[in-house]
Amino acid sequence: MTKLCIFCGANYSGDPLLANAIDTLTDIMLTRDITLIYGGGKVGVMGMVADAVLNKGGKAIGVIPKFLMSDEIAHPNLTELHIVDNMHQRKQMMSDLCDGYITLPGGLGTMEEFFEVLTWLQLGLHGKPVGVLNTNGFYDFLLQQLDVMVEQRFLKPVNRSLVLSSSDPVELINLMDNFKPKTDEVWFRDRNLT
C-alpha cells in the first residue's frame, strides 16, 4: 500500500489509548512511505491523524464536500485538499485515491463509509483491504454483530472474513499487506435453501 484511506470521527473521546494507536499507526505509515487519504477536516480524530502524519513529515490528502468546509473546518496545512460537491463524490474520490482502508473510532459517518467500501468489496467493485483498528475494544460489538449476521445466514463466512481487524496497528497493517480478496459471487443466494 502506498496510499491509505482512514475513516474516523470529527470528534475525539479523549481516550489516551486511541491517541497512542494513532501515533503508532502514523509511525508505520511514515516508515513505509504511505500517504494518508482522509476526509479533510482538522477537528477530532480526523485532525489528530492528519496532524500526526504532517508533523512527522508525511503526506496527507484530504477530500471534503463544500457544505462541510465550515462545519468540519478544513485542515489548512494538507499536502492536497480536494473540495467536492457532495458526500458521494467525497467517498468515491477517497476510494479512487487509496490502496486500502482503515476504520478508526467514529460515529455514524464513519460507519457509513466503512460499510459502503466493505459492500463494494463484497460485490467485487474493488479488491482493496478493509481494516478495523479496534482500539480499546471500541468495535467489539460491531465485530460481534457481523458474527451474528453469519449465524443468522445473512452474511457468508467468506464475506465476513473480508473484515480485517486488530487492536494493534502493526498487526493490522501486516494483515492488510497480505490481503487476497476472496468473495462469494453468489452472496445473495444460499445454495442450501430450495
Report phi then psi at 128, rounded to 5: -90, 145
pLDDT band for 73, please (50, 70, 90 cuts): confident
The reply to whether 183 falls in a domain is: no
Distance CA 162, CA 181 (A): 7
> What residue has cell string 484530504?
62
The reply to whether 167 falls in a domain is: yes
Q: pLDDT tens for residues 94-119?
A: 999 999 999 999 999 999 999 999 99
Average pLDDT over residues 13-25: 97
pLDDT band for 182, please (50, 70, 90 cuts): confident
- Is the overall model pTM greater than 0.85, yes or no? yes
Contact 132, 173 (CB under 8 A): no
Residue span of the structural domain in which 110 resides: 3-177
The reply to whether 188 falls in a domain is: no
Average pLDDT over residues 88-96: 97
Beta bridge partners of 74: 41
The reply to whether 185 falls in a domain is: no
CATH number, residue 121: 3.40.50.450
